[in-house]
Structure 1
Amino acid sequence: MAKLIYTAIASLDGYVEDADGGFVWAAPDDEVLAYVNDLERPVGTYLYGRRMYQTMAIWESVTDDEQAAVTSDFARIWRAAEKIVYSRSLAEPATSRTRIVGEFDPFEVRRLKESATADLSIGGAQLAGQALAAGLVDELRLFLGPVIVGGGKPALPGGVHTRLELLGERPFRGGVTYLRYRVNYTPEADR
């Protein structure tokens, strides 16, 4: 069975967007992006909400001659993967290898995990929160930036109780710290 992995770049205080919806402070430097590329290379399918998909769709048009090698590498990785976008407002995808699905269905995602030959990545804090609440996320990969934004959109959902097992960590020269956790869902009685 494939793993469902939630990867997020967040502020040290746990936000993927600041109170104004900004996330410029989260842009990875070349060292972090090269590491992200190696993590994303084996992903076969990305699951996105509408807003995250629209943010990521820029990678469809990035060309090698416009960008640094590490950036072009990410664009190639992203374009090679399948994308499923959960949206009630999008009628047509703006990128190749993409299909639009109206509603997030935990049972369908579980079936997708069971049938997939490569791992799946879920992007967007709200969608990932739904998947965490449904017990679907197998691994969290958090890149914590050296910034405190004081509020905004949290990287992790409220109301979800689960234990995490640290699988790895790595500091980067620019101050970002990578944390990798296995998600160990526990019954409510374990609280």
Structure 2
Amino acid sequence: MRKLIYGYGVSLDGYINDRDGNIDWTDPDEELHQFHNDRYRQLEIALHGRRLYELMAEYWPHVPDTASPIEREFAELWTQKPKVVFSRTLTEVHWNSRLVSDNAVEEVRKLKAAGDGVMEVGGANLAASLIPHGLIDEYQLFISPVLLGGGTPMFPTSDKRLTLRLVETRHFATVVMLRYLAE
């Protein structure tokens, strides 16, 4: 069965973007960007919610020539990586992507059962729809030393407790990574 990872850059107070939707505070240093490239390279499939897909599609396929080699490498990885985009409003997707507009939970269950590689879910709303169903196997938080005071929370509110087991910590120049397994 495929493993599903939910990993995100998050503020110290738990937000993945600020109140205006900006993520400019998540600017990775070279070591962190290379870590993300290496991690992304190992994924079999990337799952994106609509907002994340639109954000990524706006920049990565058109990365400027002045971008660093690490950024150009990620642009190539992102455009080539098989992606499943979950949206009820988009009518088409590009760059090796497939659009799913129906039941995300059922589609993710099928994707998990169809192989033994690693997938990553990107998008807080998409992840929020999967968490209550126990579909996420691993959580990777890249915690930045910033308090946003509002924005999109990484985790949805819930009336049930989710127990996680810390399996790795790693310090980068700009963030601390915490990696947890769902129990």
Instruction: Give your verdict on TM over 0.5.
Output: yes
2:101 maps to a residue whose letter is G
Specify the alignment match of 1:172 in structure 2: 172
Supply the RMSD in Å over aligned alpha carbons: 1.5
Aligned pair in 2 of structure 1 residues 25, 104: CA closer, same or farther (>3 Å)? farther
Specify the alignment match of 1:89 in structure 2: 89
Specify the alignment match of 2:14 in structure 1: 14
Which digits, 9 at most, give the CA deviation of each residue in 1:82-104, with x for residues without a partner?
A: 111111111111x2211111134
- Report runs of 4+ in structure 1 exceeding 6 Å deviation: none
Tell me if the contact between 2:80 and 2:95 (Cα under 8 Å) persists in the aligned partners.
no
Q: CA separation in 2, counterparts of 1:71 and 1:3?
A: 26
Specify the alignment match of 1:188 in structure 2: none
1:47 maps to a residue whose letter is L
Q: CA separation in 2, counterparts of 1:44 and 1:59?
A: 19
Q: CA separation in 2, counterparts of 1:40 and 1:72?
A: 14
1:54 maps to a residue whose letter is E
Is 2:7 the counterpart of 1:4? no
Specify the alignment match of 2:133 in structure 1: 134
Structure 2, unmatched stretches of 5+, are: none
Specify the alignment match of 2:27 in structure 1: 27
Provide TM-score, normalisation by structure 2: 0.93
Q: CA separation in 2, counterparts of 1:55 and 1:118?
A: 25
Residue correspondence of structure 1 range 1-191 to structure 2 within 5 A? 1-57=1-57, 58-62=59-63, 65-93=65-93, 95-159=94-158, 160-174=160-174, 176-184=175-183
Which digits, 9 at most, give the CA deviation of each residue in 1:99-148, with x for residues without a partner?
A: 11113431221121111343111001111111111110000011000101
2:62 maps to a residue whose letter is S
2:179 maps to a residue whose letter is R
Provide TM-score, normalisation by structure 1: 0.89
- Percent of pairs with identical residues: 40
Structure 1, unmatched stretches of 5+, are: 185-191
Q: CA separation in 1, counterparts of 2:153 and 2:103?
A: 20
